[in-house]
Amino acid sequence: MEVLRDAAEGRPRLYEATSRSLQAEVKELPAVWLYDDRGSRLYEEITELPGYYLPRREGEILRDRAAAIAARTRARTLVELGSGNAKNTRLLLDALEGTLECFVPLDVSEQTLRESAEAIAAAYPRVFVHAIVGDFERDLEALPGRGRRLIAFLGSTIGNLYPEQRGRFLTTLAGELARHDAFLLGIDLVKDVARLEAAYNDSRGVTEQFVRNALTAVNRELDATFDQRCFVYEARWDPEHERIDIGLRARQAHTVSIRRLEIDVAFEEYEPLRVEISSKFRRDSFELEAAKAGLRIESWWTDRAEDFAVGLLRPDASAGS
């Protein structure tokens, strides 16, 4: 396993981002706080919830289209960004059996990555597994691979990035793709608002536990005084930006001390604390985003309900001309 970003190295940057975002006009916690070991386990539990349709719709598409993806890419190296448990990735691994030599999962959670990489290595003994602990926004230039590469970014994780972050990510990725490389992207689509909000407001409260765990992580690591009783969970549709805003809202006015950062954060009654966003997409607007970054959509597939899409993108040779 290769470690590009260990926990100690990334902490000063995270602490600075936390201080800045908690003092912004709209208070926010960096989403990294969601993904400690407990948070990663809770997220995997979320992916199994009946109302959280994203991984099932993506899996439906990949089962139908994995053979076509393999035929079009003939990848020798499969890279997965933000791999998690790599469940849907196995559909690609199966389809690429004839050409694939190396699988490179990259994830920020070392424990989750280690477990997933070991499971893949055992299930696919002919494929060399090169696991990387790293940040997909900062470590794209370090991705290895010989010959044709297929870089997969599944689960609509790209929806957790703000538009300016998406632009930087896509532009950097396009610059790292060789002529025969391809980029496979899973994205959630705009749909009925009630269904969208239901996906983040499950009756068992697992998503709420996942979000509240960020407060627990900040309290533990930054000697903070977030009181769970002072906040109510909230996930709501933002029609202007076509995204779900996920976080908490103060029940009453109060102040939180973040002692390690030497700041006090005052909340007004009903003031929101954003923890994550989940943007939803339309093909036409996303195609413009991709083109601006130097990528063209070669193929676009949806599930039967048209809830989710998987796109196969290539570097646009005309972008630099």
- C-alpha distances (whole Å) from 77 to each of 23, 120, 151 are 43, 14, 8
Q: Which of 292, 202, 211, 204 is nearest to 246 (CA)?
A: 211
- How confident is the model at residue 40, as a pLDDT? 85
Domain count within the chain: 2
- How confident is the model at residue 7, as a pLDDT? 58
Q: Estimate to the nearest angstrom the gap between the alpha carbon of 58 and the chain centroid.
A: 14
Question: Which residues, listed in sequence order, are joined to residue 106 by a DSSP beta bridge?
Answer: 81, 132
Same domain for 130 and 111? yes
- How confident is the model at residue 265, as a pLDDT? 98
- How confident is the model at residue 109, as a pLDDT? 78
Same domain for 274 and 286? no
Same domain for 172 and 238? no
pLDDT confidence of 4, banded at 50, 70, 90?
low
Q: How far apart are CA 140 and CA 123, in angstroms?
A: 26
> Alpha helices of 252-310 — where are they, by DSSP H?
283-293
**Residue 292 pLDDT > 70, yes or no?**
yes
- How confident is the model at residue 135, as a pLDDT? 84
**Residue 22 pLDDT > 80, yes or no?**
yes
What average pLDDT is seen over the chain?
A: 93
Selected residue with higher pLDDT from 83 and 140: 140
Tokens of 202: 């499950």
**pLDDT tens figures, 25-48:** 999 999 999 988 899 889 989 999
Asked if residue 2 belongs to a domain, the reply is no
Tokens of 274: 């954003």
Give the lowest-confidence range in 106-115, 145-154, 185-194: 106-115
Yes or no: say if 151 and 79 are a contact pair by the CB < 8 Å rule: yes
**pLDDT tens figures, 241-285:** 999 999 999 999 999 999 999 999 999 999 999 999 999 999 999
Looking at the chain, the whole-number percentage of residues with pLDDT higher than 70 is 95
Give the lowest-confidence range in 8-12, 176-180, 264-268: 8-12
Tokens of 197: 């909000």
Q: How far apart are CA 169 and CA 141, in angstroms?
A: 11
Structural domain harbouring 157: 54-189+281-315
**Residue 321 pLDDT > 50, yes or no?**
no
Same domain for 71 and 161? yes
**Residue 113 pLDDT > 80, yes or no?**
yes
Helix 206-222 and helix 37-46, axial crossing angle in degrees, nearest 10: 170
Yes or no: say if 106 and 132 are a contact pair by the CB < 8 Å rule: yes
Q: Which of 193, 174, 172, 175 is nearest to 183 (CA)?
A: 174
Same domain for 28 and 107? no
CATH number at residue 299: 3.40.50.150
Asked if residue 1 belongs to a domain, the reply is no
The reply to whether the predicted model has a pTM over 0.95 is no
**Residue 5 pLDDT > 90, yes or no?**
no
- How confident is the model at residue 227, as a pLDDT? 98
**Residue 54 pLDDT > 60, yes or no?**
yes
Same domain for 117 and 230? no
